[in-house]
């Protein structure tokens, strides 16, 4: 079930959901609007490689805005830092943003219980469009879960996006290709 505005406020009061900065006017009937932070990143290599840490160039969005061009992937970031300790957050684009031809994520709209960070956006546009830091970019929707969560995101050894950053975080897929270490030999391999 999706949390209503009343339930989101109650979860914030109980510290089960954290949103900083929190602005009451951004709370909808069953979602919370998030805004585009001041940083974008683009990959610098023409062809990306899933086995390596692909380099990026960071772009600070100027006051006059920045034009997204079709065919280019931009990593953006939310202005808001969030924590979710008892619910599953989903990030969806706002309809006004979609009507400008902007997609804010290609596959990564679902968070995990225990996620505590800024959200990296996988942005693309169908037409050239000027964007601005601080503009509404998406909405967080919170789902209740059934059953006990044994391991929250932040406590998983395999969690690749735990380091808090207010800058876009590039793919860390390359970490999936590292050789697995047995517990027995772990200390010898360090």
- Could you report the per-residue pLDDT of 5-21, keeping only the tens digit for each? 999 999 999 999 999 99
Nearest to 58 by CA among 69, 43, 71: 43
Q: Which of 7, 83, 92, 122 is catalytic?
A: 122
- Edge-to-edge order in the sheet of strand 136-143: 32-35, 136-143, 88-93
Total domains present in the chain:
1
pLDDT at residue 37, as a whole number = 98
Nearest to 76 by CA among 89, 59, 64: 59
Q: Cβ(162)–Cβ(117) under 8 Å?
A: yes
pLDDT at residue 154, as a whole number = 65
Q: Give the range of the structural domain holding residue 62, as residue numbers without chain letter.
A: 5-147
pLDDT by 10-residue block (mean), the chain, 190 residues: 97 98 98 98 92 95 98 97 95 95 85 91 97 98 88 68 80 74 47
Active site residue 80: no
Instruction: Encode 42-52: b = buried (16+ Cβ within 10 Å), e = exposed.
Output: ebeeeeeeeee
Q: Is residue 25 part of a domain?
A: yes
Q: Is residue 171 part of a domain?
A: no
How far, rounded to the nearest angstrom, does the alpha carbon of residue 55 sit from its chain's CA centroid?
19
Nearest to 125 by CA among 86, 92, 97: 97
The secondary structure element, H or E, covering residue 117 is strand 116-125
Token code pair at residue 56: 């990026």
Query: What is the C-alpha to C-alpha distance for residues 151 and 12, in angstroms, rounded to an integer?
Result: 21
Q: Is residue 174 part of a domain?
A: no
Q: Is residue 153 part of a domain?
A: no
Q: pTM for the full model?
A: 0.86
Token code pair at residue 51: 């086995």
Q: Is residue 26 part of a domain?
A: yes
22: domain CATH number is: 2.70.40.10
Q: Is residue 161 part of a domain?
A: no
Token code pair at residue 52: 């390596």
Q: How far is CA 95 from CA 28, 33, 132, in A?
A: 13, 11, 17
pLDDT at residue 156, as a whole number = 65
pLDDT at residue 147, as a whole number = 83
Q: Is residue 159 part of a domain?
A: no
């Amino acid at each position: 079930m999706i949390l209503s505005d009343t339930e989101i406020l109650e979860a914030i009061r109980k510290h089960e959901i954290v949103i900083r900065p929190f602005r009451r006017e951004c709370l909808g009937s069953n979602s919370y609007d998030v805004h585009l932070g001041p940083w974008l990143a683009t990959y610098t290599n023409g062809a990306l490689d899933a086995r390596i840490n692909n380099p990026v160039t960071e772009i600070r969005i100027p006051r006059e805005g920045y034009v997204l061009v079709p065919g280019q992937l931009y990593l953006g970031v939310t202005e808001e830092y969030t924590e979710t300790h008892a619910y599953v957050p989903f990030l969806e684009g706002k309809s006004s943003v979609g009507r400008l031809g902007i997609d804010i994520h290609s596959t990564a709209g679902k968070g995990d219980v225990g996620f505590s960070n800024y959200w990296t956006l996988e942005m693309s546009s169908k037409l050239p469009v000027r964007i601005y830091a601080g503009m509404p970019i998406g909405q967080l929707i919170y789902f209740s879960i059934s059953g006990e969560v044994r391991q929250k995101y932040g406590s998983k050894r395999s969690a690749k996006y735990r380091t808090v950053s207010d800058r876009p975080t590039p793919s860390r897929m390359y970490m999936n290709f590292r050789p697995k270490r047995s517990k027995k030999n772990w200390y010898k391999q360090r």
